[in-house]
Chains A and B, each alone.
Chain A
Amino acid sequence: MENDLPRRREAAGLSQGELAEAVGVTRQTINAIERDRYDPSLELAFKLAAYFECHIEDIFEPGENNDST
C-alpha cells in the first residue's frame, strides 16, 4: 500500500514523533508507514484520516505491497 503521509505530515509542520503521539503509536511505526514498510491497521488508518481531516483513501492507496515491517 502506498501513502502520502510524509507530504501531509510535513505540510502540517509535524515531526514523526509529534504525529505518532497524536495518534497513539510510536515514532517507529509512523516511520515504517511512511517508508511503505508497514501497512497500518484499519483503526490506525482511521485515526490518521481523522487527524488530517480527510478520507482514508486520500492518504492510502492500493499499490505494491512489500509485506515487511
Chain B
Amino acid sequence: MLDTLTSGTNEPEQARRVYYRIVYAILGIAIIGLLAGLVTGHELLGTIIYCGGAWIGSGITFLAPKLTDVPLQDERDTELYNRASGLTLGVLFVLGLSVIPAIYVLEAAGRIDPPPEVTGAILLASGLFLLWGVAYGIVKRR
C-alpha cells in the first residue's frame, strides 16, 4: 500500500512520512470520534468509531512494515518507544507510591470517601503494574 502511495517518488523518507500520517490520522479520528460520541450522547457510535480506528491503526502498524521493504521504523524508534514507556511507567509508579497509600490511610481513618472513579483508577494502575511485571518476567526468560 505504502509502495503504491509513494510510487511517484520512490523515496523511503516519503513512504515513512505517509505511513506516520495515515496511522496518526486514523488514531486521531478514533479519539475524536470517541470524545464527540461522549459529548453528543452517541456513546455507542463513538465507541464503534474508536474501536474501528484503534484496530485499523494497530493493524496498519503491525502489517505495513511486513508489506514493504522501506524501513518505516528502526532500532532508534524502538528505543524511543521503550524510553517513553519506561518514563510513563516511572511517573505512574512515583505518583502511585505517593498517592495510593495516603488514600488508603485517609479512607481507613474515615477522613475521605474516595469516589468510584478514584478506586477504578487505582485498580487500573495496579493492573497495569501487574501486567508490566508479568511482561517483564516473560521477556527476561526469552
CB < 8 Å: which of B11, B75, B83 contacts A29? B75
Q: Which of A5-13, A37-45, A57-65 contacts B (4 or more CB under 8 A)?
A: A37-45
Taking a contact as CB atoms under 8 Å apart, the answer to whether B83 and A69 are in contact is: yes
Interface: B79 (CB within 8 A): yes
Please give, as numbers and ranges, the residues of chain B lying within 8 Å of A29 by CB-CB distance. Answer: 74-76
List the 6 closest pairs (A to B, CB-CB), nearest first.
Answer: A25-B74, A29-B76, A41-B75, A26-B74, A29-B74, A38-B76
Chain B contact residue count (CB 8 A cutoff): 13
Q: How far is the CA of A28 from the CA of B71 in the complex (A)?
A: 11
Please give, as numbers and ranges, the residues of chain B lying within 8 Å of A14 by CB-CB distance. Answer: none
Interface: A20 (CB within 8 A): yes
Provide 5 A-B residue pairs closer than 8 Å at the C-beta atoms, listed in order of the A residue. Answer: A21-B12, A24-B74, A25-B76, A26-B13, A40-B75
Count of A-B residue pairs with CB < 8 Å: 37
Q: How far is the CA of A53 from the CA of B83 in the complex (A)?
A: 32
Binding site for A on B (CB under 8 A): 11-13, 16, 71, 73-77, 79-80, 83
Sorting the interface of chain A by its residue count into under 10, 10 to 19, 20 to 34 or 35 or more gives 10 to 19
CB < 8 Å: which of A25, A32, A41, A69 contacts B71? A25
Q: How far is the CA of A3 from the CA of B71 in the complex (A)?
A: 23
Looking at the assembled complex, report how far the CB atom of B88 sits from the nearest CB atom of chain A, in whole angstroms. 16
Q: How far is the CA of A30 from the CA of B41 in the complex (A)?
A: 48
Taking a contact as CB atoms under 8 Å apart, the answer to whether B74 and A69 are in contact is: no
Extra pairs beyond A26-B73, A29-B74 (15, CB < 8 Å): A17-B12, A17-B13, A20-B12, A21-B12, A25-B71, A25-B74, A26-B13, A26-B16, A26-B74, A26-B76, A28-B76, A29-B75, A40-B75, A41-B75, A69-B83
